[in-house]
Structure 1
Amino acid sequence: MVRGRRALMGVILATSRSFSDGDIDFVARAAAAGHEIVRGPAHHDLGELAPLLANADAWIAGTGPVTAAHLDAGPRLKIVARYGVGTEAVDLDAAAARGIPVTNTPGANANAVADHAVGLMLAALRLIPDGDRRVRQGDWSVRRGRELGAATVGIVGFGRIGQGVAGRLTGFGPRILAADPFLDAGRVRDLGAEPTGLDELFRTADLITLHAPGGQRLIDAQRLAGIRPGAVIVNTARPDLVDESALAAALRDGRVSGYAADTLDGDTAASSSALLADDLADRVIVTPHLGAQTTQAVDNMGSMSLDDALAVLAGRTPAHPVKGSS
């Protein structure tokens, strides 16, 4: 019986760094369902992944690319379960052509990212990281910040995370604007914000927080030319939303007073970003893509991605299919 059980055991390849790194042991959960978890590199280098994909029945994929070549290297793959929300790195057409469903984990990290966005707002408005650096150098001089409650906050993208940010801001009392082409004005008002267009938001808001999907450029030289002078920008979404060189120029000439982000162009390879220049260190705050890295979010993403993988391996329909995938 042991021999037969092993023969039926499926292999689930997991390439997210934080998979099963929270309070829930998903390796044990998979084993209880008769499957083995095999770990792979988060960068998804095809040379390293190909031998692992060759034996994989399911793939819990991190943020690295999932290309047609990756899928061809996994002839047994029955599902790609994206560990997270964004699927821009996944070739959905290639997956559909091969009959491989793609899932994601909508809402799993919304609370964590909303918390982090508000934290970055406060850090930027009150100059907290710069104050810490100066004290450690023996400089106790004071730089004057601004109060969140006195600001007009513009939320770009009013989905789960944007709405979570708005809910958290109510206790501070700022005016809240929201721009989202997919929500009607009445719904935005019901959710606690004033509906507005994107250009008007940039002209009006003292603080702009980005929660839109990637694959588009929302902040470039033209939009920065019309921004409210001295605005602060927070980005916990995607790096490609921002022209980093244009933003660096706007920080230097004072059109933008601060930028706080959880991501940069290239992420872990971002040492060449214009925003990391030494002369901008007092105006730029960057965290290492940790907005979704809470124990609760990690457990949520792990549960949703593994449950979808197990469902497909058992012949059932996954709960979180991505539109446009098989």
Structure 2
Amino acid sequence: MAQNPDLYLMAPLIPHTVAALESRFRIHRSDPPPSTRAIACGGTTVIDAASMDRLPNLGIIACCAVGYDGVDTAAAAARGIRVTNTPDVLTDDVADLAIGLILALERRIAFADRLVRGGGWAMPLSRKVSGRRIGIFGLGRIGHAIARRAAPFAGEILYTARSEKADVPYRYCPDITALAAASDILVLAAPGGDATRAIVDANVLAALGADGVLVNVSRGSLVDEPALIAALEAGGIAGAALDVFADEPHVPEALRAMDQVVLTPHLGSATQDTRRAMGELTVANLDAFFAGKPLLTPVP
């Protein structure tokens, strides 16, 4: 009887997914043997060329996430290693969270909750959300879903993407600085990676201005975190709602101390339904690979 292939499990996946993997593979959570054929990982798991070279039989890296910026895809391609991710299945949850963060930030819901739990009642007035100009950086699957949810109450939807899209009713801005200057609420929904690293810098935050707010549901790497903290402390922008951070799970004390900031622990896809669907798609990609069939969701 053939032995199950070796798989290196590099991320904490839900029990349903782990059980499915355990029925198909010999699981290694550390020190994977050279015979390892597959890796299952998260979206921020770092897998570089040196990691791949330590596993000469590696054939597939299955990311249980839409993002895969921790994986050196060029190195993988050069070694004939396939890479997959889990797009689409988490789009709704991330978009829902973006809208929730906008409302929580502008209406100061988290602050009000802390106030009442502490026995307080009176609090400063918050800000109206309806009628605000919402700019979305990155109009892919998630950006589109955020725009659809925001459109009924937004004064205007604006966006910046790699190129102007002819089939959308939103206003195009040529770059993120122009988008920030034209927006009241700047939402980040673009992929991580070198092309977007620290793209929200001091200049972009200055363009957003003292009445503007930042919402990030993409990757912490998009934001120059020290510049964001400086802008918040100086009143350069009005607030921020962040689901992702530069050095997770470490969140700067300066951000944790600010009342004009809403913080969540990278929970964009963290619902029972979606994590199960992500795990099933991850396993389905692995099944397809080992059966010699086309992968369901290969990365470009």
Q: Taking structure 1 as the reference length, what is the TM-score of the superposition? A: 0.83
Match of 1:222 in 2: 203
Question: Could you tell me which of 241, 245, 259 is aligned with 2:240?
Answer: 259
Q: Cα deviation per residue 1:239-289 (whole Å; 9 max; x = unaligned)?
A: 121111111121122221110011111011x2446423x2x2x01111111
Match of 1:157 in 2: 138
Matched, 1:207 2:188: no
Question: Could you tell me which of 19, 35, 38 is aligned with 1:27?
Answer: 19
The residue identity in structure 2 corresponding to 1:10 is: P
Deviation at 1:315, TM superposition (A): 1.6
Matched, 1:293 2:270: yes
Query: What does 1:1-326 correspond to in 2, within 5 Å?
Result: 4=1, 7-21=2-16, 27-28=19-20, 31=23, 35-36=24-25, 38=27, 40=29, 49=30, 51-62=31-42, 63-182=44-163, 184-189=164-169, 193-197=170-174, 198-215=176-193, 216=196, 217-268=198-249, 270-272=250-252, 274-276=254-256, 278=257, 280=258, 282-323=259-300
Partners of 1:264 and 1:273 within 8 A in 2? no
Partners of 1:57 and 1:76 within 8 A in 2? yes
Deviation at 1:97, TM superposition (A): 2.6
Q: Distance in 1 between matches of 2:78 and 2:165?
A: 38
Partners of 2:135 and 2:158 within 8 A in 1? yes
Q: 1:150 aligns to what SS in structure 2?
A: coil
Q: Cα deviation per residue 1:37-83 (whole Å; 9 max; x = unaligned)?
A: 6262xxxxxxxx3x235343221112321122322232332211111
Higher RCO by CA contacts (8 Å cutoff, separation 6 or greater): 1
Distance change >3 Å, CA 72–CA 80, structure 1 → 2 = same
The residue identity in structure 2 corresponding to 1:52 is: P
Deviation at 1:20, TM superposition (A): 4.4
Q: 1:148 aligns to what SS in structure 2?
A: coil
Deviation at 1:11, TM superposition (A): 3.1
Partners of 1:245 and 1:274 within 8 A in 2? no
- Structure 1's unaligned 5+ residue stretches are 41-48
Partners of 2:178 and 2:207 within 8 A in 1? no
Measured on the aligned residues, the alpha-carbon RMSD in Å equals: 2.1
Q: Cα deviation per residue 1:168-223 (whole Å; 9 max; x = unaligned)?
A: 113334321111123x342232xxx2222333321121111100111322211122
Match of 1:43 in 2: none
Q: Taking structure 2 as the reference length, what is the TM-score of the superposition? A: 0.90
Q: 2:25 aligns to what SS in structure 1?
A: strand
Distance change >3 Å, CA 303–CA 28, structure 1 → 2 = closer
- Structure 2's unaligned 5+ residue stretches are none
The residue identity in structure 2 corresponding to 1:135 is: V
Q: 1:52 aligns to what SS in structure 2?
A: coil
Q: Distance in 1 between matches of 2:77 and 2:139?
A: 29
Q: Which has the higher helix share?
A: 1
Deviation at 1:129, TM superposition (A): 1.0
Q: Distance in 2 between matches of 1:219 and 1:111?
A: 24
Partners of 1:205 and 1:228 within 8 A in 2? no
The residue identity in structure 2 corresponding to 1:207 is: I
The residue identity in structure 2 corresponding to 1:289 is: H
Distance change >3 Å, CA 104–CA 283, structure 1 → 2 = same
The residue identity in structure 2 corresponding to 1:27 is: A
Distance change >3 Å, CA 9–CA 39, structure 1 → 2 = closer
Partners of 1:78 and 1:313 within 8 A in 2? no
Distance change >3 Å, CA 259–CA 37, structure 1 → 2 = farther
% identical equivalent positions: 35
Aligned residues: 295
